[in-house]
């Protein structure tokens, strides 16, 4: 039997999006064109494949059985084609979308961009919002090349690589009247705190670390990104507990001083994940290596 290979990515998009509208947007097609493609898919695979329901479409048992087979076949085809292609970073022209969490965007992305400017000026990055729901980042569908942050319970079609383990430190105003070169547990619990609540699981990690040590924190204000913390702490007597690499950046601000936390708060992991179809993509593989090197280099620098 002859198969129209152009229909298979449409099948995968419908399976992952569970919506004709979203699948059409993702593939750059009109809804009528996608509906026509779905009709041909049904004829080719001899099954209804998707049943329309109130909030989208649901796959049939046959579709659920076929999707891992088709996804593996497409990945092998990508590997075969991309494996024949050479890649010269100095000459390459390509736009790659990545989804970094707030920590990675603050700490790693500037260093990544600086390295790209030096060795691969034609490689451009587009940042898309990070989310606990990996579907929203686009990495599960493959429209986003990489997601960087804390990856928990990834689906089978994602490859996850550990980048680094990060610790925590405290930031207060440099001329704080109560805090000298160190901070006691009692002082930490007496202070008002600035809390950072970006999307992602890192905030849960900090809350869990505080709970493990039974360390209380009186939160006066919550902000949505790390960029707001320096200004907030510099004009108040508040304290912020932040990742070490962010504190290293803030240490250059003469208005602030960095202190170790009064108890050991442990570390949290930072990971990088990508769709299996990119496993052997030369440009993608090269970018992953560059990001890993940048992360290792930052961690090796003294705090």
- Mean pLDDT estimate for the chain: 87
Rounded to 5 degrees, what are φ and ψ at 169?
A: -145, 170
DSSP-based three-state secondary structure for 242: strand
Which residues of the chain are modeled with pLDDT < 50? 84, 200-201
Say if CB 75 and CB 42 are below 8 A apart: no
Sequence-ordered strand ranges (E) for the chain: 50-53, 56-59, 94-100, 123-127, 146-149, 158-166, 168-173, 192-196, 218-223, 239-243, 256-259, 268-275
What are the residue ranges of CATH 1.10.10.10 in the chain?
5-82
The helix, strand and coil proportions of the chain, stated in percent and rounded to the nearest 5, come to 45, 20, 35
CATH code of the region 168-266: 3.40.190.10
Residue 85 is predicted with a pLDDT of 57
Q: Any idea what DSSP says for residue 272?
A: E
Residue 203 is predicted with a pLDDT of 53
In the structure encoding, which two tokens stand for residue 38, read together? 């779905």
What does pTM read for this prediction?
0.71
CATH superfamily of 94-159+270-300: Periplasmic binding protein-like II (3.40.190.10)
In the structure encoding, which two tokens stand for residue 155, read together? 């689906």
Q: Any idea what DSSP says for residue 226?
A: G
Say if CB 148 and CB 104 are below 8 A apart: yes
Residue 80 is predicted with a pLDDT of 61
Class (C level, CATH) for 5-82: mainly alpha
Rounded to the nearest 10°, the torsion over CA 285, 109, 245, 296 is 20
- Longest CA–CA separation in the chain, Å: 80
CA angle 299, 301, 303 (to 5 degrees): 90
What are the residue ranges of CATH 3.40.190.10 in the chain?
94-159+270-300, 168-266
Residue 146 is predicted with a pLDDT of 94
């Amino acid at each position: 039997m002859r198969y129209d290979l152009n229909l298979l990515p449409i099948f995968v998009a419908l399976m992952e999006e569970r919506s004709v509208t979203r699948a059409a947007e993702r593939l750059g097609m009109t809804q009528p064109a996608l509906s026509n493609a779905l009709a041909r898919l049904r004829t080719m695979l001899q099954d209804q494949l998707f049943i329309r329901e109130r909030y989208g479409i649901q796959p049939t048992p046959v579709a659920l059985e076929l999707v891992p087979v088709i996804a593996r076949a497409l990945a092998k085809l990508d590997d075969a084609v991309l494996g024949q292609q050479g890649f010269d970073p100095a000459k390459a022209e390509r736009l790659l979308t990545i989804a970094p969490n707030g920590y990675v965007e603050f700490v790693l992305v500037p260093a990544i961009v600086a390295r790209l400017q030096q060795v691969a000026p034609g490689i451009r990055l587009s940042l898309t919002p990070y989310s606990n729901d990996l579907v929203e980042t686009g990495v599960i569908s493959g429209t986003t090349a990489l997601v960087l942050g804390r990856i928990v319970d990834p689906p089978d079609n994602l490859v996850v690589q550990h980048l680094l383990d990060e610790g925590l430190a405290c930031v207060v105003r440099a001329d704080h009247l109560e805090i000298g070169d160190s901070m006691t547990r009692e002082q930490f619990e007496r202070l008002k705190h600035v809390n950072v609540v970006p999307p992602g699981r890192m905030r849960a990690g900090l809350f869990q670390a505080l709970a493990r040590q039974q360390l209380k924190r009186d939160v006066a204000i919550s902000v949505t990104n790390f960029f707001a913390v320096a200004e907030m702490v510099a004009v108040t007597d508040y304290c912020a507990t932040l990742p070490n690499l962010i504190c290293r950046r803030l240490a250059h601000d003469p208005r602030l001083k960095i202190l170790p936390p009064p108890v050991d708060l442990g570390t949290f992991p930072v990971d990088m994940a990508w769709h299996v179809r990119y496993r052997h993509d030369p440009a993608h593989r090269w970018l992953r290596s560059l990001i890993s090197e940048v992360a290792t280099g930052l961690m090796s620098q003294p705090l």
